[in-house]
Chains A and B, each alone.
Chain A
Amino acid sequence: MQWETVIGLEVHVQLATRSKIFSGASTAFGAEPNTQACAVDLGLPGVLPVLNEQAVAMAVQFGLAIHAEIPEVSVFDRKNYFYPDLPKGYQTSQMYHPIVGPGEVEITLEDGSTRTIRVHHAHLEEDAGKSLHESFSDGMGHAMTGIDLNRAGTPLLEIVSEPDMRSAKEAAAYLKAIHSIVTYLGISDGNMAEGSMRCDVNVSVRPRGQETFGTRAEIKNVNSFRFVERAIEFEVERQIELIEDGGEVVQETRLYDPERDETRSMRTKEEANDYRYFPCPDLLPVVLDGAYVDHLRETLPELPADKRARFQDGLGLSAYDAGVLSASREMAEYFEAVKDACGDAKQAANWVQGELSGALNREGLAIGDSPVSARQLGELITRVMDDTINGKAAKQVFQALWNGQGESADAVIEAKGLKQVTDTAAIEAMIDQVIADSPAQVAQYRDAEPDKRGKMIGYFVGQVMKASRGTANPQQVNALLKEKLDALC
């Protein structure tokens, strides 16, 4: 049987506010346990929440970025359950009237094709604290868990997709698209390792052609692009095998274990939850007037999808290049600076994605940490385009700049004597010398069928380039060699 995978994602994005969603405590990462948990975060008796305006603004910006409806009124509800990292015994969230209504996100697949994934809604809520399962004990030998509530109350935007994705790759592409939108907007640092972005994945399978959805499993708290893909791949295979063996998928929560590369059921001795949502009586309805939303709309930066379209249609880049170069705001800004410096988008794209990305990947650096600045790279490309240096020399210049051996491309070219030789007389002299030193190769060339000669010329080119220490203009070398050798035939 042919199976179709159906995937929906709930992405939790930590918003980059300075203070918490309902209190004035800092959201900075990595503080000593419970030093950033104030009276409100701890849920001390008598405390009350007051909503952070920046969290609201960021949520609305996200909504505008995905062309979502922004309802005039949104309401906070309480989701009631007991857990040690949830100080008040309820999480303040938005169940019935979220701040962001239906919208859509465009994703780009590896082949450059795009698809639209619908977003059901996005809502604001508070994060919980953290449980630390270290070796604490209660003095009677019982193992204890330590609770750190620094994270409690950090604003989260939960973005809930429709079940529109049909493969692990699409899910990963969707997650990347969300990542790039929130980082473009600057509403989150998008740091998945620190938990700034995490997602719950709903996966089901159904026979191809069937309309109704299969029973889904929810994989909780996946925190990297790669894990999302692998968790889904494992889960899809598990579900298909299960059904084909005559079993049934049960609706449950599962965890992905990256070390074993598998998902497994969370122990469900707990009965189904009943969260008893009701409107939080400590908070009033949030009303956003049109002028406020319009103001935020006007101040939105250019977003990934728009940038991608401009790179493709305006700059003439391929769909693939446009996608890669617009994926992050830093990458796009770097690329555009290189392009502005050299005046050629295609060359800039090739260099950024080729030499630069290769070097960055080798050293595990982000684009923001590149030792070669966009201005330096742009100048280097200019020198290739105006024939000051050839491609081979350009790589040497790049390496020198990467290693900090020169302030600019020109300085490196000068210092290393890499300036291209384009003087015809000088090149001819080198060619004559090579021909004179290679009688056997010249004889072979002469005896070969004319259509085989093209390949044989490479040897002579190599010798001439070697003689010029790489500085001869390869096109000129080629043309002059062909002329001289053919004259000998």
Chain B
Amino acid sequence: MDAFLTSRIIADVLGGLTNGVIYGMVALSLVLIWRSTGVLNFAQGAMPMFATYVGFALLSYHFGYWACAVAALIVGLAVGGLTERLVVRGLYGKPEINPIVVMVGFLIVLEAVAAAIWSSFPRSLPSPFSSIDWQLGGHPVSLSPFTVYEIGASIVVMLLVAALFRFTNLGLQLRASALAPEVSRLLGVRVGRLLTLGWMLSTAVGVVTTILVSSNFFTGLTPQVNDGIFAFGFIAAAVGGLESPVGAIVAGVSLGIILQFVQDYLNSNAQIIVALVVLIVALMVRPNGVFTKSSLRRV
């Protein structure tokens, strides 16, 4: 049993799961915004990065990890809301390239400003859990307290988002305003506020991802911390279908596991190439994503 648990295959599955939940979360945050406002948010990596820097600036005032994390979340909500109000609001109903370009611009500005304020030197975020793998019979299991925390926190966030949409009145309104904004407005739903809320939620999900990613051993927090992850999360969202939150998560986790095997059995360079192939094949079979129910598009 021990030999099985420490085997290469299990190690890859567990390692892939850890990466996969992160890709899934990025994909989820993209879907949240796409569904509610039809904007493809290229700054989805940069906005939470900025919020995390601001939140964890409290570290130098001797606040603990959790206090900083909560602060980062609050800043994230604010950044998301303000972005929607000040930058994105004027773009609804414009050709779909306009919001894409604006968010690319926002991405460039945020990364440059972050590097100007905090420099591009990596900043270590303290971690409340050890990243050292548990051992079984002298062999590592590819699972550490930190990875359990990483996976656990992601699942909690996903469940919270699901619960919000399924079981609360607010969630119902959110879904309604995304599906039929005009009808919702007529029924007295304050659609404008809900759109802002969608952006706030999405950025908060992003902040959780950013904190998890930059507390691992390898990189620390840098202005570019989310660039690579964004690409994979984006691919996951496109494979899963931008309309489907469940699809985003499933695609993200699957992509993480597949790529872990690719990295282990081929090489790390091949990861992004395989991701590209997966995307092309998935989109050739279903041009609007694997999990999108209706393939009709609005005319």
The answer to whether A and B assemble together is: no
